[in-house]
């Protein structure tokens, strides 16, 4: 089955002013004009969703959000529901990113980690709420350096995939995007060897196969994330199990982001 590559730019807590967001979004639109055969997504901070939506109007670039909540309304201060995101023009939602799980590649003071309380159970709730709203989740999974050195990579990744999918139907599962992001490669400049990244993305697909069968496993798209850049994108994206990239730092420079899209 031919899977359309998907390149998504996660701006994180960057480009959050109206001027910055508008400029970058317009640059991305110009850079991908006339290109086809790849899904391009930009995921800005909540505060500039409207600004980016306006800048993307009439282009093939779609907008994503960096997280979402599983309730539709209620006394949940600071939370943003999937329905709100849909109304804002969002198509994709990043869920379970290591940084919302409190799993950082760079050092973070121990006393602050409780702020990042994401678990497999909350990721699953968010996945189901996102799908119910008609949006598409990008589900992040990945191991820490300690887990990799301890030989736990496959177990951690397969457990996170399975945990995110409880109660998800076959039809829903076939539409999902997974992003394998080794935690130790996020924001550190380190990148997983292409062959190993492909092997672990294959573990993601194998886990989906065990839950839903071959047809669904072949339909889901699996991105690699973690210091993907113009100089390593082509090698990573040429791997059979890697269907795109969830891009952090390189998504903040339109030329770098465009180069990765070209590689896809």
Q: Are 87 and 50 a contacting pair, CB within 8 Å?
A: no
Which of these is catalytic: 83, 118, 147, 181?
A: 181
Question: Phi and psi (nearest 5°) for 110?
Answer: -55, -35
**Going by C-beta distance under 8 Å and a sequence separation of 6 or more, which residues neighbour residue 138?**
8, 41, 64, 92, 93, 94, 95, 177, 178, 179, 223, 246
SS3 184: helix
- What is the distance between the alpha carbons of residues 43 and 25, in angstroms, rounded to a whole number? 10
Query: Would you call 97 a catalytic residue per the annotation?
Result: yes
Beta-bridge partner residues of 69: 81
The backbone region for 111, taken as left when phi is positive above 0, alpha when psi lies in -120 to 50, beta otherwise, is alpha
Annotated catalytic residue: which of 97, 118, 143, 147? 97
Tokens for 231, please give them. Answer: 């100089």
- How deeply is 34 buried, as exposed, middle or buried, from its count of CB atoms within 10 A (0-12, 13-18, 19+)? exposed
Catalytically active residues, by annotation:
97, 181
């Amino acid at each position: 089955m031919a899977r359309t590559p998907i390149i998504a730019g996660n701006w994180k807590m960057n480009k959050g002013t109206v001027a910055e967001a508008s400029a970058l979004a317009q640059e991305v639109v110009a850079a991908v004009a006339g290109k086809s055969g790849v899904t391009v997504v930009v995921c800005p901070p909540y505060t500039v969703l409207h600004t980016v939506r306006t800048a993307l109007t009439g282009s093939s670039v779609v907008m994503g959000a960096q997280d979402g909540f599983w309730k539709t309304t209620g006394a949940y201060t600071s939370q943003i529901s999937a329905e709100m995101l849909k109304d804002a023009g969002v198509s994709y939602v990043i869920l379970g990113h290591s940084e919302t799980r409190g799993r950082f590649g760079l050092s973070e003071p121990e006393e602050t980690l409780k702020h990042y309380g994401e678990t497999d159970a909350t990721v699953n709730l968010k996945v189901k709420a996102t799908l119910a709203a008609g949006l598409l989740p990008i589900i992040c999974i990945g191991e820490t350096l300690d887990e990799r050195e301890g030989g736990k990579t496959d177990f951690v990744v397969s457990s996170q995939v399975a945990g995110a999918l409880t109660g998800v139907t076959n039809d829903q599962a076939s539409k999902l995007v997974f992003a394998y992001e080794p935690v130790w490669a996020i924001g550190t400049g380190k990148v997983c060897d292409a062959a190993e990244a492909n092997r672990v993305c294959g573990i993601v697909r194998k886990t989906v196969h065990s839950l839903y069968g071959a047809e669904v496993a072949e339909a889901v798209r699996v991105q690699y994330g973690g210091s993907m850049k113009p100089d390593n994108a082509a090698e990573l994206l040429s791997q059979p199990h890697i269907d795109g990239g969830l891009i952090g730092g390189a998504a903040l420079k339109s030329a770098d982001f465009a180069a990765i899209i070209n590689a896809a």
